[in-house]
Amino acid sequence: MRFSTFIYTLKQGIANIFRNKWYSLASIATIGACLFMFGIFYSIVANFQYIVKEAQNGVAVTVFFDEGLSQERIAEIGSLIEARTEVDHVNFVSADEAWEGFKEEYLGEYADGFKDNPLKNSSNYEIYLRDVSMQSALVSYLESTEGIRLINKSEITAKTLTSINSLVGYVAIGIIIILLCVSVFLIANTVTIGISVRKEEINIMKYIGATDFFVRFPFVIEGILIGAFGSLVPLGIVYLIYSNVIGYVLNKFTVLSSILKFIPVNEIFHTLIPVSVCIGVGIGFIGSFTTVRKHIRV
Amino acid sequence: MITLDHVSKSYSTGAPALNDVSVHIETGEFVFIVGDSGSGKSTLIKLLLRELLPTSGTIEVNGVNVGKLKHRQIPKFRRNIGVVFQDFRLLKDRNVYENVAFAQRIVQVPGKQIKKNVPSVLSIVGLAGKYKARPKQLSGGEQQRVALARALVNNPPILLADEPTGNLDPKNSWEIMKLLEEINEKGTTVLVVTHNREIVNAMKKRVVTMNKGVIVSDQKEGSYIDEI
């Protein structure tokens, strides 16, 4: 193919957008509406999971050791725990650190009456999990480990967080399916309009002796550009809504700011921009490709 | 140049559109195909353009067995056949120059050459001064001239015209037919499907008459047969 032919077909693709202004606008609006819903939904789900994850990070399993257990064995237990796949990280709290923490939290100045450390057998490991749903597996392992006297765990918190996580997962899948169905329906309608607009033009090209590529390329370029525009518009709107809503919530409800942590807008868009543009361009490409394919075998 | 050998074409329902048709057209001939609606004329054009495949028989155009063409070979095959339709089939959103240049771009003629060829062919059809006009700014006769220019710009050895005067008044019809005759005199084989009795009778060309999918008459310097 000549370079000039390539440039010509590329220009035709761009010109097609302006030739069929209303069709282009309808397509951009359709893709934009789908991706707007996707952007809003993604922001909500991502924040929800972020908040749950933050809560999970605070859940720890604490293990205490048998009296008089050697430092070597304690270190060995630490290494065994760290090697477990469900473990994110482990903190060793010595008996002195445990006493200092207890004094600070519960006793204050009354602690001066104690000469020795009453918690001398309370050195422990605080174990933080990658996923709280794995807590029971870890606890079973710890129970069978020699040298461990006591395991402190919060089963209710772990179960609640696991349930919330599962619920968010199911709701996310459900909404994605609904969004996909709506998108497919809207896009199928837009493509049908496109077929009626283009049928004659494609026929003429084929009768004159245009190759499939020559016919298809401008349409595909047009589809890709429409998809790209269709993704950029909702991204801009979601950006404005997101930054304003987060700012409003944190300013108006200051109590919430200590409990809830939202993902910064830049971090959300770090994922949302490439995903939305890929979906938009993908929809545009597939839509235009299939529209032309139906009529290309003349 | 064009040979149909015992060609039949049936659609899924109804009587066959073409039934055992055999005809041979030599290079440089001017042939009218006439007949009533449903006689098989349009099917014949579609078969020659490889829009349809025959149910049986063989079709040869420019030495190519049309039935054996693969999908990817069809565009190259069609570039050797100029085609003009009753409804002009111009790209409405492009001007006269672009409509004609489009046919050249398809065969990847260099840009400089296109700039020479398009005005030249537009002057042949008498539209050199209207190259910037859009199809809807032209009369029916002018639109058909653009279609003719588009069909001719790549110098095809064959020109198929399917009811080229069907939407035109008598004056414009005659002008188009004169153009087709001039093109034929330069060596292009011209095949015209028409209902226009006056033109067929006046031009004294070969006339192939079809009825219900069969050729009922083939006259060398023929005339339009009214009653079959």
pLDDT tens-place string over residues A156-214? 777 777 787 788 888 888 887 887 777 777 777 766 676 676 777 788 888 888 888 88
Nearest-angstrom CA–CA distance, A33 and A27: 10
SS3 label, residue B131: coil
At A120, phi and psi to the nearest 5? -65, -20
Name the percent of chain A lying above pLDDT 70: 91
Sheet holding B2-9, edge to edge: B18-25, B2-9, B56-61, B64-65
Instruction: Supply the ipTM of this predicted assembly.
Output: 0.84
Looking at residue B135, the DSSP 8-state letter turns out to be G
Per-residue pLDDT at B55:
93
Per-residue pLDDT at A26:
85
Residue A298: pLDDT over 70: no
Q: Residue type at B37?
A: S
Nearest-angstrom CA–CA distance, B65 and B73: 12
Nearest-angstrom CA–CA distance, B59 and B24: 10
Higher pLDDT, B185 or A223: B185
Per-residue pLDDT at A278:
92
Residue A258: pLDDT over 70: no
Query: How many beta-carbon pairs under 8 angstroms link A with B?
Result: 49
List the structure tokens of B97. Answer: 């120059």
**What is the model's pTM?**
0.68
- The alpha carbon of residue B227 is apart from the nearest alpha carbon of chain A, in Å, by 34
Question: Hey, are the CB atoms on A207 and B89 less than 8 Å from each other?
Answer: yes
Closest CA to B85 of B141, B144, B17: B144
Burial of A45 (0-12, 13-18, 19+ CB in 10 A): middle
Mean pLDDT by 10 residues, chain B (228 residues): 94 83 95 90 92 94 93 92 92 92 88 93 92 94 94 93 90 91 94 92 94 92 76
Cα dihedral angle (B25, B29, B34, B38), rounded to 10 degrees? Answer: 40
- Per-residue pLDDT of A12-68, as tens digits, reads 888 888 877 888 888 888 889 888 988 988 888 888 888 877 777 777 888 888 888
Residue A111: pLDDT over 70: no
Is B106's Cβ below 8 Å from some Cβ in A? yes
Per-residue pLDDT at A194:
66
Q: Which residues pair with B23 in a beta bridge?
A: B4
CA distances to A203, B94, B116, B202 from B98, in Å: 17, 6, 13, 35
List the structure tokens of B221. Answer: 């310097």
Closest CA to A164 of A38, A41, A44, A53: A53
Is A3's Cβ below 8 Å from some Cβ in B? no
- The alpha carbon of residue A207 is apart from the nearest alpha carbon of chain B, in Å, by 7
At A227, phi and psi to the nearest 5? -60, -40
Q: Which residues pair with A87 in a beta bridge?
A: A129
Nearest-angstrom CA–CA distance, A151 and B11: 82
Q: Which residues of A touch B83 (CB under 8 A)?
A: 207-208
